[in-house]
Amino acid sequence: MAQHPPFEIILLRLPPLRSFLMAPKTDLQQNVVAEQIDPIELNAWKRGITPQAEIWNGRLAMLGLSIGMATLLIVRMFNNAA
Protein backbone atom coordinates (compact mmCIF):
# COMPACT_ATOMS: atom_id res chain seq x y z
CA MET A 1 0.00 0.00 0.00
CA ALA A 2 1.38 3.42 -0.94
CA GLN A 3 2.07 5.81 1.88
CA HIS A 4 0.66 9.28 1.65
CA PRO A 5 2.75 12.29 2.68
CA PRO A 6 1.84 13.99 5.96
CA PHE A 7 -0.87 16.64 5.89
CA GLU A 8 1.61 19.47 6.48
CA ILE A 9 3.53 18.61 3.31
CA ILE A 10 0.34 18.67 1.24
CA LEU A 11 -0.43 22.17 2.54
CA LEU A 12 3.03 23.41 1.59
CA ARG A 13 2.52 22.31 -2.02
CA LEU A 14 -0.57 24.50 -2.50
CA PRO A 15 -0.03 27.81 -4.33
CA PRO A 16 -0.22 30.89 -2.13
CA LEU A 17 -3.63 32.53 -1.78
CA ARG A 18 -2.33 35.92 -2.89
CA SER A 19 -1.63 34.50 -6.36
CA PHE A 20 -5.38 33.97 -6.75
CA LEU A 21 -6.30 37.34 -5.27
CA MET A 22 -3.78 39.29 -7.33
CA ALA A 23 -4.87 37.86 -10.69
CA PRO A 24 -4.56 40.32 -13.57
CA LYS A 25 -7.76 42.15 -14.41
CA THR A 26 -9.51 41.50 -17.68
CA ASP A 27 -10.69 44.27 -20.02
CA LEU A 28 -14.24 43.91 -18.70
CA GLN A 29 -13.12 44.30 -15.08
CA GLN A 30 -11.05 47.39 -15.86
CA ASN A 31 -14.02 49.20 -17.42
CA VAL A 32 -16.39 48.65 -14.46
CA VAL A 33 -16.99 51.74 -12.34
CA ALA A 34 -18.52 51.23 -8.88
CA GLU A 35 -21.07 53.79 -7.74
CA GLN A 36 -21.35 54.89 -4.13
CA ILE A 37 -24.79 54.12 -2.68
CA ASP A 38 -26.30 56.28 0.03
CA PRO A 39 -26.65 54.27 3.29
CA ILE A 40 -30.26 55.44 3.63
CA GLU A 41 -31.09 54.02 0.20
CA LEU A 42 -29.20 50.80 0.95
CA ASN A 43 -31.33 50.20 4.06
CA ALA A 44 -34.59 51.27 2.39
CA TRP A 45 -37.46 48.80 2.25
CA LYS A 46 -37.85 48.08 -1.48
CA ARG A 47 -40.00 45.33 -2.92
CA GLY A 48 -39.01 43.04 -5.76
CA ILE A 49 -35.66 41.50 -6.56
CA THR A 50 -33.34 44.28 -5.46
CA PRO A 51 -30.15 44.36 -3.39
CA GLN A 52 -32.11 46.06 -0.60
CA ALA A 53 -34.67 43.24 -0.56
CA GLU A 54 -31.86 40.68 -0.36
CA ILE A 55 -30.31 42.52 2.60
CA TRP A 56 -33.64 42.57 4.45
CA ASN A 57 -34.26 38.94 3.51
CA GLY A 58 -31.00 37.96 5.21
CA ARG A 59 -31.71 40.08 8.27
CA LEU A 60 -35.20 38.65 8.73
CA ALA A 61 -33.96 35.10 8.12
CA MET A 62 -31.34 35.49 10.86
CA LEU A 63 -33.94 37.01 13.18
CA GLY A 64 -36.31 34.09 12.58
CA LEU A 65 -33.53 31.54 13.04
CA SER A 66 -32.39 33.20 16.28
CA ILE A 67 -35.91 33.33 17.71
CA GLY A 68 -36.55 29.71 16.72
CA MET A 69 -33.31 28.47 18.26
CA ALA A 70 -33.90 30.48 21.46
CA THR A 71 -37.44 29.09 21.74
CA LEU A 72 -36.19 25.55 21.23
CA LEU A 73 -33.47 26.02 23.84
CA ILE A 74 -35.86 27.47 26.43
CA VAL A 75 -38.47 24.74 25.86
CA ARG A 76 -35.87 21.99 26.20
CA MET A 77 -34.37 23.55 29.34
CA PHE A 78 -37.73 23.70 31.13
CA ASN A 79 -38.88 20.35 29.72
CA ASN A 80 -35.85 18.53 31.20
CA ALA A 81 -36.20 20.33 34.55
CA ALA A 82 -39.68 18.91 35.22
Domain ranges of the chain: 36-82
What pLDDT, in 10s, does the model give residues 10-65? Answer: 445 555 566 556 666 666 666 767 777 787 877 787 778 888 888 889 999 999 99
pTM over 0.85: no
* CA distances for 7 relative to 4, 19, 20, angstroms: 9, 22, 22
Element (H, E) at 3: none
Task: Judge residue 56's burial from the number of C-beta atoms within 10 Å of its C-beta, 0-12 exposed, 13-18 middle, 19 or more buried.
Answer: middle
- CA atoms of 74 and 67, how far apart (whole Å): 11
Give yes or no for a contact between 55 and 43, defined as CB atoms under 8 angstroms apart.
yes
